[in-house]
Amino acid sequence: MMSRAGMFRVSEGIAVDMSNRVYKLPSFHDVLEGEIFLQNLPSIVTAHALDPQKGERILDMCAAPGGKTTAIAMLMKDEEEVVAVDRSHNKVLVIQKLAAEMGLNCITAFKLDALKAVWQRNDSDITTDLCCSEEIDGVTIQSSDLLGSHVEKNSSIIMEGMSAEKSGKESVSNEKANERTYVSKADIRKNIRRIRNGSGRNQCNGGRVQNSKGFSPNSFDRVLLDAPCSALGLRPRLFAGEDTIESLRNHAKYQRRMFDQAVQLARPGGIIVYSTCTINPGENEALVRYALDRYTFLSLVPQHPRIGGPGLVGHCEFPDGYIEEWLRPGEEELVQRFDPSSPHDTIGFFIAKFIVGPKDAQFGKSCASS
């Protein structure tokens, strides 16, 4: 038998197709529903690193399937407000279902592309600051919702000239537009598995989901961005070799755009936690370098608990001359890198925690014009 660490180090070998379980212990699927939710150790560490406090408003930007969201809600003792977003209708339903199973009432889930998480006011917006809608079986009906602290709870709703049929078509077209922006290989593989395996616990259809147009800048105390990634930290896979340098760079570009949104949403004095389930430095240490160099008001801060190892210092020069900058000396101990070959025997994972300092006026102007 080959160890987990050994599997990551060899390029070929013999695979065994198992027809029967090695152990008699049954699957935990649907066992003790509402009592147990299995998570990898780094995911639990991520929720604790965010360290949500009483009286705070929390955002989980890429929340599905909801493991970290519910962990955060539990740390807050199901008080205050935890906002969870995902761009997939079915994934938002999964978050809602898990929150209900766990008996958590402080979680509000929205369908929203994280690349459009910051609400941009323009002339075409309805004057009553509409920011969310409800989608039921593909039909979207607008309603008022929380944009941020400046939206009145009793805002009137203007529905004139808007039919459910038109809203439904707009909802579908918007969803298709979002899907064209970026589809990771991991998402493609998941969809293929769903087609093969049919409906399961995570395949929910026909439920009610609230859409959101985004949130006001500086409207959250803490933001968790568990970004979509190349997932190279997960268990060894036969298709791991499909990723190319170009595809890995595309992941990094996508993550930077999402991080830009997170920076705008976190208030001065707030916290941003960035995490991935990949071991690729371009999506981890290079993102930290980008964040610190572009946003001078961001600073890395220590994480508790600290279980993972240090980050990577230095840079990498590619054959085409591109230089990817990583961490600088002294920064490596402020992040957590989980290596699949480490004694902890975890998946590959990365966590960085930033504190948001005072944002200058120029930052606000550049965000408004972007």
| 166 has pLDDT over 60 | no
| 204 has pLDDT over 80 | no
Residue 283 CB coordination number (10 Å): 27
Task: For residue 140, give the H/E element and its range.
Answer: strand 139-143
To the question of whether residue 129 is assigned a binding role by annotation, the answer is no
In a domain, 8, yes or no: no
Q: In a 3-state reduction of DSSP, which class is residue 196?
A: helix
Identify whether the C-beta of residue 313 lies closer than 8 Å to the C-beta of residue 327. Answer: yes
- Could you tell me which residues are beta bridge partners of residue 351? 275, 336
In a domain, 22, yes or no: no
Residue 262 confidence (pLDDT): 99
Q: Which residue has the higher pLDDT, 165 or 321?
A: 321
Q: In a 3-state reduction of DSSP, which class is residue 283?
A: helix
Number of domains in the chain: 1
Q: Which of 32-46, 257-271, 330-344 has the highest mean pLDDT?
A: 257-271
To the question of whether residue 68 is assigned a binding role by annotation, the answer is yes
Residue 206 confidence (pLDDT): 53
Average pLDDT on 152-159 reads 31
pLDDT in tens, 65-98: 999 999 999 999 999 999 999 999 999 999 999 9
- Could you tell me which residues are beta bridge partners of residue 224? 60, 273
CATH number, residue 54: 3.40.50.150
Alpha-carbon distance of 39 to 36, in angstroms, equals 10
Q: How confident is the model at residue 127 (pLDDT cuts 50, 70, 90)?
A: very low
| 145 has pLDDT over 50 | no
Alpha-carbon distance of 192 to 146, in angstroms, equals 36
To the question of whether residue 308 is assigned a binding role by annotation, the answer is no
In a domain, 82, yes or no: yes
Residue 326 confidence (pLDDT): 98
The values of phi and psi at residue 188, to 5°, are -60, -45
Residue 106 confidence (pLDDT): 98
Kind of pairing, strands 335-338 and 349-356? antiparallel
In a domain, 5, yes or no: no
Residue 132 confidence (pLDDT): 54
In a domain, 16, yes or no: no
The amino acid occupying position 209 is V
Residue 133 confidence (pLDDT): 54
Q: Which is the catalytic residue, given 132, 277, 316, 367?
A: 277
| 201 has pLDDT over 70 | no
pLDDT in tens, 289-315: 999 999 999 999 999 999 999 999 999
Q: Which two tokens stand for residue 148?
A: 């941020």
To the question of whether residue 64 is assigned a binding role by annotation, the answer is yes
Active site includes 132?
A: no
pLDDT in tens, 97-118: 999 999 999 999 999 999 999 9
Among 354, 352, 261, 263, which Cα is nearest to 46's? 352
- SS3 sequence, 14-29? CCCCCCCCCCCCCCCC
Residue 22 confidence (pLDDT): 74
Q: Provide CB contacts within 8 A for 249, sequence distance 6+.
A: 282
The values of phi and psi at residue 59, to 5°, are -125, 130
In a domain, 296, yes or no: yes
Which residue segment(s) compose the domain that 153 sits in? 37-369
Q: Which runs of E-coded beta strand occur in 15-117?
A: 57-60, 81-86, 107-111
In a domain, 27, yes or no: no
In a domain, 12, yes or no: no
